[in-house]
Structure 1
Amino acid sequence: MSVASPLTGRTAVVTGAARGLGADMAQALVRRGARVALLGLEEGELARTAAELPEGAAHWWAVDVSDADAMEEKAARVRSRFGSPSVVIGNAGIAESGTFLDSDPRLWRRVVEVNLVGSAVTARAFLPDLLRTRGYYLQVSSLAALAPAPLMSAYCSSKSGAESFAQVLRTEVAHRGVGVGVAYLSWADTDMIRAGDTTTALRALRSALPWPASRAYPAPEVAERLVRGVERRSAAVHAQQWVRGVRLARPLLPPLVALRSRRMMRHLEKDGGVAATGPLGEGGEAAVDATAAVPTSDTRS
């Protein structure tokens, strides 16, 4: 006899839900009987994601997660349509690549705004709901939070900050019945990673990693593991089992990465392969497009 998921009948919020890992997590949540609020920037992709789910199981709202006022307004809309959420997944994230010295300061800041500030804004907007439901907040982090990766200073900084934020939040709300988890994952086969693989620098970075850290894992597989962690209200969710070992070896990683990076960086600089990439993937481009108009909601709201 199958056992009903603890997510059945619950409301979940997923940011960065327009594509990739966010869209796949939405599907995994709906399979478990949850109603899902999809938040993201790309109106067309959000609508497509919602249309692929059973009627009534999901609704979308276009919003910039770093905009505190807009997120408060969307939290009220989610509450009005579905009731207070029991699960919130801070998944929205973007990346760019290049040396810090040659990076565009505005783009560098935007990565931090989305990945770190956007995570805090998301938590602030929905924390009153999670307190009411004694719910669970999952912060999607990365191996980039555990080890420095050359050419990824904004991404590593923001993911480390998001991890630390979630851990502090846990200490402040655990006694009130709210769980907070951090998801650690390696490369997932998403639009952002595929865009990175077209660049010389990120191809070199990934190929320099030992197996299995160099492998890109199917996004639906990663999403399924993360949602299992949501069901268990885990403090740490590992998208790949070997990531547990990486966390244990964390103190050793910075000097090891620095040592291995010297040769790689010399070769890349000699071959001209460290040029800044700009935002990676269509989701990243949408997040940094200052002229993009963000709709206030799905027209069916």
Structure 2
Amino acid sequence: MKKVAPLFIIAATLLWAATGVVTRYIATTGLTTVEIAALRVVSSAIIFFIILLLFYPDRLKIKVRDLGWFAGIGLGSLFLNNLAYSETVQRASLSMAVILLYTSPFFVTIMARIFFKEKITTRKLFALTLAFIGCLFVVGVSKAGLEEGIVLTILIGMCAGFGFGLYSILGSVLLKRYDSLTVAFYAILFAALGTVVLTKPAAVVTTLMASPSKLPLCIIGSFVTVALPYICYSLALKYMEAGKASIISSFEVVAASLYGAVLFGERLQLKNILGIVLVLTALILLQLKPKERGNVKEN
């Protein structure tokens, strides 16, 4: 299973990358950015619950003493990530929001070292740097929207990155006690509870009912881009280091760029292609086995 764990991360990134496609479709209903985020998380939690109740009811059982951990991963990770990312998109360009989001591997690498004693090897640092630079080239960087409140915007964007990265840390702890389905479900459930507080559910339902034909795809698309990727990511975390998993997740930027080119005719410039190559190089580098010199391995 360890050998295929990176493939589950890639699968998660391919699904996460489709978020833009789904979000654009949901936006045609007239929902705001925050309302779209709420719809995606809440509908995913409901569908996820029904599936578990019908086919895996035992996965719904958790110990009361662990509620704090699940609240932490749901509110501190998913909820914070969604809220901060939505706010960053409104304050700055989408490219800048994406770059700030993908500061997450840096947070994960540091936290994994502190809490799990994961080694920060030369190989990992090099891959981390390559992946981040690759993301810069893939999406480009625009300063649009940063003329005012630049410091606050950057801090909010980094909160999105921290929230995204926190899932790898808290998830690694919970996955030692629970199945990946359980961890993913309760994380989404607590995130859903948090988003409901920030929106007016009645207003969201009223807006959606004005476009009933779009509702099925809105709900299915939300589940596919929220619940399924977190299930894949959680499963992979059981078998690999949090730091490596976070770096591999950078492939989402590449996938999103390719979706844009194929589905919306967005042109890829030379710098974008170079960025894709750098991210792929980083992912390959992480999968190479370190050479051994005598009895001493690479540090």
TM-score tier (shorter): under 0.3
TM-score normalised to the size of structure 1? 0.27
Larger RCO of the pair (alpha carbons < 8 Å, separation 6+): 2
Flag the structure with higher helix content. 2
TM-score normalised to the size of structure 2? 0.27
